[in-house]
Structure 1
């Protein structure tokens, strides 16, 4: 007992350790992948938002340039300069404005008259632009740094350009992207602005510099490209921040895994699971109870009864086996298992059993299935020893509806054609009356042991059995009395004209070796009917 308890404790300890390991691995995988996909989704959403903001910002820039151009003239008088200065003062982006003519020469700015020719590359882009607008990034003499330039030209050739520090674009992007996200904003191959030397984070070097993922969007109208990078360091930072939640999820998974494992072990050792497994593996045994003939010129018969001893549950009642099989939808499999064992029994003892019939219990609703009769015929081909020796006992447990009645009659007729005899088991305990006997072509009627037990003292039961016996004889049916356990019961059923008896008075259900010995010792001529 101590060793058994110790073994169980060791088993549970091992199960707990395995569950802890698998739950830890599972929680790490779920946590790591979930965080990764969350950050990827966040990266994508924020990049899309930044793209929309940049696009709106560029639209606003050229709306502002167009307004300046609409007010400008081809002169650079004092009023023109003041107007440019005022516009520059109120502009949220540009630090300087300039005007250029149809020859692409800057002739005026908010500082005063100037004489500068635009770069040839800018001129080409303006000429090829459908909207006569373009942008560039170059060194500014005024701002003394790399400067963003935006150009717009009216149809009459007057154009305006605005100068802005690249950082003005970052102010909008910084509000959208997380502080730890790196990004790179470029015009063509020139960098407008970046965060934390993100210009080093190209796709080919992303792994080397610790970038987990990146997203790139392009504003084709402006030749702007925004690359946003997810640093590996940010991922690990989130991992550390969410570590308590990861530990909690691990504990939850541990409890769930351990509980599920215990439930599974419990189910594996449960009676229902063991019965199901025993049926699937053909682990049950068939015992045989003699049906003793009261006529000396007729042989005895047998009834095949299921028996099973479970290593965990001990001897299991046949009623529990049948009820469980019915609940699990395994009644047909149980029936085929019994018939196959009976077939092997006849094959191994053909000489002794050549004149003996054996009855097998079958569920009435199994008979209603289209596959039952063909399957039974196939089994009779496999076991020709059973031909003419197999009987089916159909328990009278429930009433059949109007659709099932003709179908059942048809099944019975097919079964009798292939040499299978039929008997109604436990008659009088179900829903049917005497008319039940007339409707179905049974060969044998078995009187339930409930009536046999009270036959001597119960005048009403005796009258019922007398009527049933008379009707069965008129219909050409043989009678079997179940549950005969005493001499007085035997004498009473003999007076009713019963053909055969079954019960502990003669024999309990026996294993196949013992029932063969019983048959050899109890030929009909030697079987005592009265003692």
Structure 2
């Protein structure tokens, strides 16, 4: 007696699921076509988040974080489009556009402070692709401003086969030869073993914000962060602590000998014009007043 009702419910759920899948597919197609239009109109640009000296808060450089200036919706954060851009391969073209735009912006930065560097996100799959690496090299060779104090960073969460690892090393080396330095993002959360890290020879390790955020209150995380910092020193890499949001975290990071920091305690991501106007100012006056202002760090030396 209940079968007709159960069958009706099953049919309704099936129809709803099909409709939901159809809406999702159409939505992804819509975003993809909108991203393609945005690429044609060069609507993608970078916000700059300062990376600072852990001892005195002085700016050492900045990570470039992509934003989309949409003609209808205004500034769109990457959370709303980056997944589609990566899954469709459109992120490759966006990155090339950001790099070319950064060449012009970095010229203005150099006029104010020639020691500051910029850090640009790439994916390991980009660097495995020899044709794409050639495109990157062509842009770098075209603009003198990109031939020093430029860091490419990719995340430790990406995995690759032994064959891909060889191709990755080749791509990284080709870019080293035109002046690029290398950073590993989200260090401590991924799958790279010590041998892999030694093989790829990173210049900078960026410690994931998860460890920084809870290191002050959680004894286990505190110990893990200590070990991560020790490993970084063993690998002879400069370290950057990400997600520093409080004075207590900033002090602890400095105590561990982590040379550089990045986070809201110092500065949020900002438009290029704001970054340019703030270059001569320390990111956190309160943090820097008690320390000498003329410290030369190993972090600056590592990217020169």
TM range (shorter): 0.7 to 0.9
Bigger Rg over Cα: 1
Secondary structure of the residue aligned to 1:398 is coil
Give the drift of 1:505: 0.6
**Does the 8 Å CA contact 1:290/1:303 hold for their aligned counterparts?**
yes
1:428 aligns with 2:194: no
Quick one: distance in 2 between partners of 1:510 and 1:497?
27
Structure 2 unaligned regions, length at least 5: 1-22, 291-304
**Superposed CA offset, 1:487-513 (max 9, x none):** 111111112111110011111111111
Number of the residue aligned with 2:255? 495
Say if 1:347 and 1:383, in contact at 8 Å, map to a contact too. no
- Please give the per-residue CA displacement for 1:8-34, whole angstroms capped at 9, x wherever unaligned: xxxxxxxxxxxxxxxxxxxxxxxxxxx
Is it true that 1:528 corresponds to 2:274 in the alignment?
Answer: no
1:320 to 59, 76, 80: 80
- TM-score relative to the length of structure 2: 0.80
Structure 2 Cα separation of the partners of residues 395 and 485 of structure 1: 21
Tell me how far apart the structure 2 counterparts of residues 481 and 523 of structure 1 sit (CA, whole Å).
15
CA positional deviation for 1:392: 0.2
Kept after mapping to 2: 8 A contact 1:269/1:312? no
Change (3 A) 1:267 1:405: closer
* Structure 1 residue 355 corresponds to structure 2 residue 119: no
Mapped contact 1:427–1:445 kept (Cα < 8 A)? yes
Match of 1:374 among 120, 134, 156: 134
Question: What is the aligned partner in structure 2 of residue 392 from structure 1?
Answer: 152
CA 1:454–1:351 in structure 2 vs 1: closer, same or farther (change >3 Å)? same
Alignment of 1:202-351 (within 5 A): 270-295=30-55, 300-351=60-111
Q: 2:165 aligns with which of 405, 409, 421?
A: 405
Shift of 1:442: 0.3
Q: Following the alignment from structure 2 to structure 1, what is the Cα–Cα distance between the partners of residues 286 and 64? A: 21
Relative contact order: is structure 1 or structure 2 higher (C-alpha 8 Å, sep ≥ 6)?
A: 2
> Does the CA contact (< 8 Å) of 2:57 and 2:266 recur in 1?
no
Quickly say closer, same or farther: Cα 1:451–1:268, change in 2 above 3 A: closer
2:125 aligned with 1:365: yes
Of residues 194, 198, 213, the one that matches 1:453 is 213
- Does structure 2 conserve the Cα–Cα contact (< 8 Å) formed by 1:268 and 1:274? no
Change (3 A) 1:530 1:434: farther
Map residues 149-160 of structure 1 onto 2, 5 A cutoff.
none
Aligned CA distance change for structure 1 residues 379 and 271 (closer, same or farther; 3 Å):
same
- TM-score, with length taken from structure 1: 0.47
Query: How do 1:14-25 and structure 2 match up within 5 A?
Result: none
Provide the C-alpha distance between the structure 1 equivalents of 2:113 and 2:136, rounded to a whole number of angstroms. Answer: 20
1:333-365, Cα deviation, whole Å (9 max, x unpaired): 011011111111023443114211100000110
Q: Which residue of 2 aligns with 1:56?
A: none
**Alignment: residue pair count:** 266
Contact 2:52 2:283 in 1 (8 A): no
SS of residue in 1 equivalent to 2:183: strand
CA distance in 2, matches of 1:289, 1:384: 23
